[in-house]
Structure 1
Amino acid sequence: MHARHGEDYPPALSALLAAAHDQDGEQVTRSPYPVVDVANPWDLDSMLRIIAPGIEHADHQTGERRIAVMAHADGSWACATATGSERPTVHQGGPRRLWDVLDEIRAYWLQHGELPVRGARVRIMPDGRTRLARGMWRTTL
């Protein structure tokens, strides 16, 4: 959720989120992981916000059917749907494959038991950049 709004702030991605529900993707795959509400698991949400900032989410459940949609201002979007315990079908479009980014983070999480954002060392550089590091993982914001 964005902390502020107004004329000087990028508009919400509600139109792209809504459109993604009904679009056929440029790429259609099956994810090995269940549909997830990204905003609920703290580690997953935090890591995704560091790796791919600016993604907005919409999650819905009707009976056993779950839908998760991701969108970014660059025009990238993903929509994953699954019923019951089936593997989700994922439609993606735009310049980046947002669901693939999410699945890479989840694969790391499962392989290592946690994500590197938890417990990362933070260093704020004189030029204002923020560096995060934990083990072999490093990123600069």
Structure 2
Amino acid sequence: MNAAPMLAVFCGAGLGALLRWWLGMLLNSVFPTLPLGTLAANLIGGLLIGLAVGFFSHNGGLAPEWRLFAVTGFLGGLTTFSTFSAEVVSLLAHGQYHWAVLAAGVHLFGSLTCTAAGWGVANWLFIPK
């Protein structure tokens, strides 16, 4: 097996996870009921994955390790469905049902909107006119 794809994912994931940790340290205490670090990681990740998918779909000549580094590694390490899920379940367990629904809605709608926006920007930038 070629080590280059594994190294690309490994390096990207480490950098993405460090950014996610940093966002949590910086933002989660600002509004503990809806941890903003997790939300920021997912929204930024959504925007960047839209940009990346659009970019890579128009730049097929790049080595596949770049996509593995950026999408699978970095953005996989940055975004966090499991932390978001744990935060929503914790809100439910503490009887904060309205906050749980709000958090779930903001993460889902926000991430999808950011991904679509990123994809749209990438297509605007990279589709030949």
TM-score w.r.t. structure 1 length?
Answer: 0.29
Q: Which has the higher contact order (CA 8 A, sep 6+)?
A: 2
Higher strand fraction (1 or 2): 1
The two structures have a TM-score, normalised by structure 2, of 0.31
* Higher fraction of helix: 2
